[in-house]
Amino acid sequence: MGVDVCWDPAAEQPPARRAAFRSMTAVTAGDKAAWLALFAGDAVVEDPIGPSMFDEEGKGHHGQDGISAFWDKTIANVERFQFTIRDSHAAGDEVANVGTITTYLPGGYRVDTDGVFVYRVREDGLIASMRAFWETERAMATARKAED
């Protein structure tokens, strides 16, 4: 079982794209400490944006404590992640990545989440916000037994 992030990290990349790559790499490695270290102390994670099963009020997960709790509630429960970024648009201090996150869940299931994943960084390169545009119902409709 490998860990996949489809990207070309060898080329020089804008700071937000580098931060997004580091975020995906930490998630695929299951390294919570490395992932949290990428975020500014007052950062916000909205994944997905708006009310969801992960954020009933739809206000996002704020600061290190909120982002850590988000990891525990979501990322920690996934056996394996695969990120496939089909396109990436960097502008200013942000990057919008278009792609699919495939999650392999306990019980042998997988779910494909298509979306646009937007990272904004501060001057020091720390992530100020991560906003994920995806639809829960659409993602859940892809749930199926994993073939690998």
The model's pLDDT over 57-72, given as tens digits with 9 standing for 90+, comes to 999 999 999 999 999 9
Q: Measured between alpha carbons, how far is 44 from 65 in angstroms, rounded to an integer?
A: 11
Q: Is 38 left (phi over 0), alpha (psi -120 to 50) or beta?
A: alpha
My answer on whether omega of the bond before 106 falls inside 30° of 0, hence cis, is no
pLDDT of the residue at 147: 79
Residue 1 tokens read as 């079982």
Strands 144-145 and 61-62 come out as: unpaired
Residue 45 tokens read as 């994670």
Residues 6+ apart with CB under 8 A from 34: 22, 26
Residue 57 tokens read as 């009020």
Strands (E), the chain: 4-6, 39-46, 61-62, 80-91, 94-105, 109-121, 127-133, 144-145
pTM of the entire predicted model: 0.90
The model's pLDDT over 74-86, given as tens digits with 9 standing for 90+, comes to 999 999 999 999 9
Residues recorded for the chain: 148
Q: Measured between alpha carbons, how far is 81 from 103 in angstroms, rounded to an integer?
A: 5
The model's pLDDT over 114-136, given as tens digits with 9 standing for 90+, comes to 999 999 999 999 999 999 999 99
